[in-house]
């Protein structure tokens, strides 16, 4: 199974670079055979086509749209396809640390490392970034920038063979020019929000496909995406504060499973919530917020 999660206007799998907050809604999903590899470029291209087709027309031309992926998207075929789309499409794709990249990192002088930054502009403790060149770019499209992050691993984290000198290495490629590498690394790191949406999808029924046939499971996938649309927009429109960050399991426990009674009196309907329910005020406030929204029709 392969799912592309998109936060419109900011980005998870793809989004716009104006920095505004996004919805977190999924726009494309593909079912794949169980033996399909994570680096299958044809699937990445098809999923990206479907995702871009869902964007409003004004966002498909005339302004930059950003595609972000993990290292599964760091293939020659997929990056070349992105590069062929022209200047209107930017990409920031994770890259596997190959031996050539590993050796290039070892030759980077200490003065070339720039401190990584946090979203608030503060320096990220124990993390540095540098841009690689030379043989690492051979065979990749023109204009590609290869940026590596060198970070002190968290306590208890296991190092990998591709790490160096006790530091965790991660790498990504982008075609965005004229931007500081620390800002580009922060932009790519924010792709982690897409992982949050994937986790929400699994908690909403996508962890296992329950049916036998592919066509049946495709319907199951579509139903889940509809549910994810509701879970994306409901917090934005109805919830406030920390409740906006609740994930599906917590929403089911605190809001969706609340005991209530629908009564009619004076020709009006009321939802009567149990007084002892700790989150009754969250539910009532959410209903009030939804009630005052303008009619989209």
Supply the pLDDT for residue 33.
78
The tens digit of pLDDT for each residue in 242-276 reads 999 999 999 999 999 998 999 998 888 888 998 89
pLDDT for residue 21 is more than 60: no
In the predicted structure, residue 278 carries a pLDDT above the cut 60: yes
Please give the model's pTM, rounded to 2 decimal places.
Answer: 0.82
Instruction: Please measure the distance between the N-terminal and C-terminal CA atoms of the chain and give it in whole angstroms.
Output: 36
- pLDDT for 172 equals 96
**Does position 118 have pLDDT exceeding 70, yes or no?**
yes
Q: Is 241 helix (H, G, I), strand (E, B) or coil?
A: helix
Percent of the chain past pLDDT 70, that is, above it, reads 89
pLDDT in tens, 164-191: 677 888 999 999 998 999 999 999 999 8
What is the C-alpha to C-alpha distance for residues 9 and 18, in angstroms, rounded to an integer?
7
Give mean pLDDT, residues 63-90: 87
State phi, psi for 276 to the nearest 5 degrees: -80, -5
Helix H or strand E segment including 44:
helix 41-54
Is the predicted pLDDT of residue 73 greater than 70, yes or no?
Answer: yes
DSSP string, 70-125: -GGG--HHHHHHHHHT-TTEEEEEEE---HHHHHHHHTS-GGG-EEEE-TTSPEEE
Among the listed ranges 34-38, 105-109, 222-226, which one has the minimum average pLDDT value? 34-38
Task: Tell me what percent of the residues of the chain surpass a pLDDT of 90.
Answer: 45
Average model confidence (pLDDT) across the chain: 85
Judge whether residue 14 has pLDDT over 70. no
Q: Is 250 exposed, middle or buried (0-12, 13-18, 19+ CB in 10 A)?
A: middle
Question: pLDDT tier at 15 (50, 70, 90 boundaries)?
Answer: very low
For range 182-203, the mean pLDDT:
90
Q: Please, what is the Cα angle at 57 between 297 and 227, to 5 degrees? A: 55
7 pLDDT higher than 80:
no
Strand residue runs (E) in the chain: 2-5, 14-16, 26-30, 65-69, 89-95, 114-117, 123-132, 145-151, 168-174, 260-265, 268-273
């Amino acid at each position: 199974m392969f799912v592309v999660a998109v936060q419109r206007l900011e980005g998870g799998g793809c989004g716009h670079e104006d920095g505004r907050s996004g919805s977190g809604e999924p726009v494309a999903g593909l079912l794949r055979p169980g033996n399909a590899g994570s680096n299958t470029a044809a699937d990445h291209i098809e999923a990206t086509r479907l995702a871009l087709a869902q964007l409003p027309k004004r966002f498909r031309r005339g302004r930059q749209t950003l595609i972000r992926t993990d290292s599964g998207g760091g293939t020659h075929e997929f990056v070349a396809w992105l590069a062929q789309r022209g200047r209107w499409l930017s990409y920031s794709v994770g890259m596997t640390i190959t031996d050539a990249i590993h050796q290039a990192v070892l030759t980077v002088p200490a003065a070339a490392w720039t401190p990584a930054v946090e979203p608030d502009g503060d320096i990220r403790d124990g993390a540095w970034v540098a841009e690689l060149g030379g043989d690492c770019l051979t065979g990749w499209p023109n204009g590609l920038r290869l940026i590596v992050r060198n970070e002190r691993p968290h306590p208890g984290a296991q190092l990998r063979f591709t790490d160096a000198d006790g530091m965790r290495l991660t790498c990504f490629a982008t075609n965005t020019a004229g931007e500081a590498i620390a800002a580009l690394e922060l932009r790519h790191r924010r792709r982690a929000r897409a992982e949050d949406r994937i986790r929400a999808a699994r908690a909403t029924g996508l962890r296992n496909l329950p049916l036998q046939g592919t066509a049946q499971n495709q319907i199951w996938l579509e139903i889940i995406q509809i549910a994810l649309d509701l879970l994306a927009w409901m917090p934005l429109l109805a919830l406030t504060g920390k409740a906006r960050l609740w994930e599906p399991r917590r929403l089911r426990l605190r809001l969706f499973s609340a005991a209530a009674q629908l009564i009619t009196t004076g020709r009006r309907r009321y939802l009567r919530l149990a007084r002892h329910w700790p989150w009754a005020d969250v539910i009532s406030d959410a209903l009030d917020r939804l009630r005052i929204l303008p009619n989209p029709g």
